[in-house]
C-alpha cells in the first residue's frame, strides 16, 4: 500500500486538483469501461452522470438509479466522488428544486450506493474514492486497498482523502 501526502489549494471540483488528476491517471485506462456517478463537469470517465441537468454528462439521474443500470461485473473503473457531507447534499438537491429527506443524508444511503458499486465492478476492477474518510468501498465488499493519498488544503479546509481499491 502506498501512502502519500500532498498539499494543494481547495477546489470545489475535486478532479481539477493537479495531484488528484494525476492519481486518477495512474488507474484510468481509456480502453476500459469507466463510469462516474457524480461527474459534475468532469469528462474523465467514459460514462458520466450528474443529477444536475445543466451538467454536460451522459445521464442526469439519481446516482443509485444510474448504478443500477449496469450489469453485474460489467465495469472496470468507478470514480466515486459523492457530495462529502449532508450539507453539500442538501445544497445540491435544493438548488435543483428536489426535496432532501433523511434517506438521502443517512449513512445507509451511502451503503446502498457502495453495494451497487461493488456489484457492478469486475473482479480486478478498480474504484477510486474521494472524500473526508478512507473507508472506500471496503473489505466486506471484497475490495482491497492499494493506495491512499491525503490531499491537505491547509488552513480551516478539510483534507481530501483519495483511495484506490481493487476488487478481489
User: What are the C-alpha distances in Å from 38 to residues 7, 60, 112?
Assistant: 24, 10, 15
97 Cβ neighbours under 8 A, 6+ residues apart = none
Each residue's pLDDT tens digit, 43-88: 999 999 999 999 999 999 999 999 999 999 999 999 999 886 666 6
User: What are the C-alpha distances in Å from 145 to residues 18, 44, 123, 139?
Assistant: 22, 22, 14, 8
C-alpha cell at 108: 445507509
* pTM score of the predicted model: 0.89
Q: Are 45 and 29 in contact (CB under 8 A)?
A: no
C-alpha cell at 88: 453539500
Domain 2-167 sits in CATH at: 3.40.50.150
Q: How far apart are CA 149 and CA 140, in angstroms?
A: 21
Tell whether the model's pLDDT for residue 117 goes beyond 60. Answer: yes
Amino acid at each position: 500500500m502506498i501512502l502519500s501526502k500532498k498539499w494543494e489549494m481547495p477546489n470545489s471540483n475535486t478532479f481539477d486538483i493537479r495531484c488528484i488528476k494525476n492519481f486518477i491517471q495512474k488507474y484510468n485506462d481509456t480502453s476500459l469501461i469507466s463510469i462516474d456517478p457524480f461527474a459534475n463537469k468532469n469528462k474523465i470517465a467514459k460514462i458520466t452522470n450528474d443529477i444536475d441537468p445543466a451538467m454536460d454528462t451522459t445521464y442526469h439521474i439519481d446516482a443509485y438509479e444510474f448504478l443500477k443500470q449496469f450489469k453485474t461485473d460489467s465495469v472496470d473503473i468507478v470514480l466515486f466522488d459523492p457530495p462529502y457531507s449532508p450539507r453539500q447534499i442538501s445544497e445540491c438537491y435544493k438548488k435543483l428544486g428536489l426535496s432532501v429527506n433523511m434517506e438521502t443524508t443517512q449513512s445507509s444511503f451511502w451503503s446502498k450506493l457502495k453495494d451497487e458499486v461493488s456489484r457492478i465492478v469486475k473482479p480486478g476492477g478498480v474504484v477510486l474514492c474521494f472524500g473526508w474518510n478512507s473507508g472506500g468501498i471496503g473489505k466486506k465488499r471484497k475490495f482491497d486497498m492499494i493506495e491512499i493519498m491525503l490531499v491537505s488544503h491547509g488552513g480551516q479546509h478539510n483534507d481530501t482523502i483519495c483511495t484506490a481499491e481493487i476488487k478481489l
